[in-house]
Amino acid sequence: MNIAVTGANGHVGVNLCRALIDRGHHVRALAHQHSQGLRLLPLTMIRGDVLDKSTLRELFADTEIVFHLAAKISITGDPDGTVSRINEAGTGNVLEAARECRVRRLIHFSSIHAFRQHPADQPLDEMRPLVENEGFAYDRSKAAAERAVMNAAKNGLDALVLSPTAIIGPDDPEPSLIGSAVIDIYNRRIPSLVPGGYDWVDVRDVVASAISAMENGRSGEKYLVSGHWHSLKEFSGLIGMHSGRKTVTTMLPMWIARTGLPFVGLYSRMSGTKPLYTSESLTIISEGSRMISHAKASRELHHNPRPLTDTIRDLLTWLKENSYIR
């Protein structure tokens, strides 16, 4: 089967392309830059981005399935407008090209952040409303893109939505923001943690559910592909347990962490690194839902998230084998 993947050079994209090829599919990968993770894979690489409609038509020609992963992730707002352009206008271009090329099915990757996180004391499932004006720039852009996909499905396009939580796992060659955080915790570059945590899901489980969605997903439906919630302290502890190294356990009150944000931003600009703690990320850590249900995805896509301890173990092994850590 001919399958196209946008955002193929990202963490999920690299793992998805490899899994599809292993199953005998021919993959066309759209990437805007060179990707170490895709370099040795037997696929057709197309350079470009989702803002170029002609590139998308080339990518989708004679293609049965499209996985739309391309997105601009941000925990620092949208100062230059690229978040909204890529996530919203880019998705609109993908939908238009999919219709023109008569793609059989479009599987769109959204995000847990497209959903309202409150009320936090109730389970968050696919019926939870999407954010509107109250969300961060990234949240609003993903919600707008998701609405566009669902509207296209109502108007005849075979399309569905997958919404993962915080994705983590091996084969993370860039590495991702979360992969970088694991490296920093391992090397004790993060001096302290803050209260709160994330729902973590293994990239391999996300990929398995995405592949299942090709045949088992229902058009016009959305599926939460979540994992398990763990605090940052537990997260750091698992890294320490599997590495045999002492990792950070010091906890800062949230108000102190927010007071120090200007210094974190200054250091990041001077060092050329991406900040892990921003106003947005601290809000997500402290206020994000701890009750995210993957019941629908488990029932219909056979989504079966493995324990985070297994993911951390395998990620550390991969990082060592690929010389990201020693």
pLDDT at residue 267 in the model: 45
pLDDT at residue 286 in the model: 85
- Look-up of token digits 């720039």: 137
Q: CATH says 2-170+199-227+290-306 is which class?
A: alpha beta
DSSP assignment of 64-100, as one string?
SEEEE------SS--TTSHHHIIIIIHHHHHHHHHHH
Give the global pTM: 0.94
pLDDT at residue 270 in the model: 47
pLDDT at residue 34 in the model: 67
Q: How far apart are CA 87 and CA 129, in angstroms?
A: 19
**Domain locations in the chain as residue ranges:** 2-170+199-227+290-306
For the chain, 326 residues long, the average pLDDT of each consecutive 10-residue run is 96 97 97 79 94 96 97 91 97 98 98 93 95 92 98 98 98 92 92 91 98 98 98 96 94 77 51 68 87 98 98 98 95
